[in-house]
Amino acid sequence: MAMKVEVVSTESIKPSSPTPSHHREFKFCLLDQLAPPFCVPAVLYYSAPDDKAAPNSASVTGNLKASFSQALSLFYPLGGRVKGNAPIDCNDDGALYLEAKAHFQLSEVLSNPDINQLQQFLPFSPYTMSPNIEEQAIVGVQATFFDCGSIGIGICISHKIADSASVSAFLNSCSEIVVNGGDGKANLKTPFLKASELFQPKDIKFQIPSGVISREKLLTKRFRFDGESLVRLRARFVSATPTRVEAVTALIWKSAVDAARKRPDWNKTCPPSSAVTHVDFAGILRKSIRAIDSEYLSVLQGENGLAKACESLMAARKLVAASAGEIELYRFSSWARFPFYEVDFGWGRPSWVCTTSVPMKNVVILMGTRCGDGIEAWITLAEHDMIEFERNDELLQFIAPSP
């Protein structure tokens, strides 16, 4: 049975106090200028308590709106509007707030998530570039009330100003405001507010590269690695000690390449990826991460910062063009260490935190788990690649069953 979420109200939430005049213009940093005009989406699900009455929706709504209003004053650019790469006009237009009803039980979502239906819990589509994108709120929140008394909090924040760390910081500040009774003692963690001072913006008009939004038929699936399987996986790296994220990334990367090489049209003269082990992939990954050092950041902050920031992007595009489609690009993003599971609005910790499907090929998002020692990998591949990926024997050794 299809799960239907019904939006029952829509409104704008203004910052609790006006933005000071000296903060009315917010400049993007160089890295933000290069970011695509998408949003970072996340949904937090809170199960109804077993030992007491479910939260009253009117009371929940009031507390949520009050906390978001105060948080918008702390994260003041989020109450403005994005207009390309021009500085944000922090005009206090506010955030979008939706209230919705889910006429089913949260257990139906938790037991067997239908990834294609999870966007119903978000205030708007995170990857659709609306013709009126400049009029769209930078942040949107949707509170969804389930028949069982459970609650879902979906949020989208423009990737032009925020990443997953910023989304986590904003939500944790909102929850602290609720816990502290709205007395404004939220722990302010807004790393993006000083970013333009560190990475000076440049006079550029960056266009999102063609082909980022895939026209192929894609599948997004979730793969769980629990604490025990991650211990076994890391033990396979005899000569090195990778982090959990490095180990999972290397395994997924190699398995995805193996799947791609099984396409009928793949160049059979290419050496088989089985000749390259997951340890080799991990070594390449670690070397690349270590290259983002103080020297690299110093160049990024200097006069040649734009050229340095675009260096790897241009190299990748040239490599793909020269290979006539025989080289695959994979994008990995780790949210595993961000404290989404610490966001408590007075109903306890979330039962589950997730993102949604991505309309881009070869994208992997790594998320933490409630217990803290596992990783959920949200993987988007072309349909034919996903079929082969799921059959990979090496990968299947470490996939944990659904809880």
The pLDDT assigned to 53 comes to 59
Tell me if 206 is assigned to some domain. no
Q: CB neighbours (10 Å) of residue 2?
A: 7
Tell me if 297 is assigned to some domain. yes
Tell me if 203 is assigned to some domain. no
The pLDDT assigned to 211 comes to 47
Tell me if 210 is assigned to some domain. no
- pLDDT tens string 275-315: 556 667 777 777 877 777 677 667 667 766 666 666 666 66
My answer on whether 389 and 256 are in the same domain is: yes
Tell me if 41 is assigned to some domain. yes
CB 45 within 8 A of CB 184: no
Radius of gyration of the chain (CA): 22
Tell me if 262 is assigned to some domain. yes
Greatest Cα pair distance, the chain, in angstroms, is 66
My answer on whether 392 and 270 are in the same domain is: yes
CB 241 within 8 A of CB 399: no
Which of 237, 250, 210, 260 lies closest to 360, judged by CA?
210
My answer on whether 190 and 222 are in the same domain is: no
Which of 213, 221, 289 lies closest to 252, judged by CA?
221
Q: CB neighbours (10 Å) of residue 371?
A: 10
CATH number (domain holding residue 387): 3.30.559.10
Q: What is the pTM of this model?
A: 0.88
My answer on whether 277 and 319 are in the same domain is: yes
Tell me if 208 is assigned to some domain. no
Task: Report the Cα 211 to chain-centroid distance in Å.
Answer: 20
Compare 304 and 74 and report the one with higher pLDDT.
74
The pLDDT assigned to 215 comes to 77
Give the domain-ending residue among 135, 170, 198.
198
My answer on whether 224 and 186 are in the same domain is: no
Give the domain-ending residue among 138, 168, 198.
198
22 is catalytic: no
My answer on whether 262 and 389 are in the same domain is: yes
My answer on whether 246 and 383 are in the same domain is: yes
Tell me if 401 is assigned to some domain. no
Give the domain-ending residue among 148, 164, 198.
198
Which of 256, 217, 252 lies closest to 233, judged by CA?
252
114 is catalytic: no
The pLDDT assigned to 130 comes to 58
Beta strands 39-46 and 5-13, pairing class: unpaired
Q: Please state, in angstroms and as integers, the Cα–Cα distance from residue 263 to each residue in 62, 266, 316, following that order.
A: 54, 5, 22
pLDDT surpasses 90 at 202: no
My answer on whether 262 and 344 are in the same domain is: yes
My answer on whether 227 and 194 are in the same domain is: no
Q: How many domains does the chain have?
A: 2
Give the C-alpha separation, 198 to 375, whole Å: 32
- What are φ and ψ of residue 288, in 5° steps? -65, -40
Cβ partners under 8 Å of residue 274, min gap 6 = 258
What is the torsional sign of CA 171, 172, 175, 180?
Answer: negative
The pLDDT assigned to 161 comes to 86
Min mean pLDDT across 36-40, 77-81, 382-386 is at 36-40
Q: At what angle do helices 244-260 and 227-235 cross, to 10 degrees?
A: 80
- pLDDT tens string 9-51: 999 999 999 999 988 888 887 777 777 778 999 999 999 877 5
Catalytic residue among 89, 92, 93, 344: 344
Min mean pLDDT across 159-173, 175-189, 208-222 is at 175-189
My answer on whether 233 and 180 are in the same domain is: no
Query: Could you tell me the residue range of the domain that residue 321 belongs to?
Result: 218-396
Catalytic residue among 32, 159, 226, 385: 159
My answer on whether 169 and 31 are in the same domain is: yes
Which segments of 241-304 does DSSP mark as H helices, in order?
244-260, 278-290, 294-300
Quote the DSSP letter at residue 30. H
Mean pLDDT of the chain: 83
Quote the DSSP letter at residue 303. T
My answer on whether 272 and 191 are in the same domain is: no
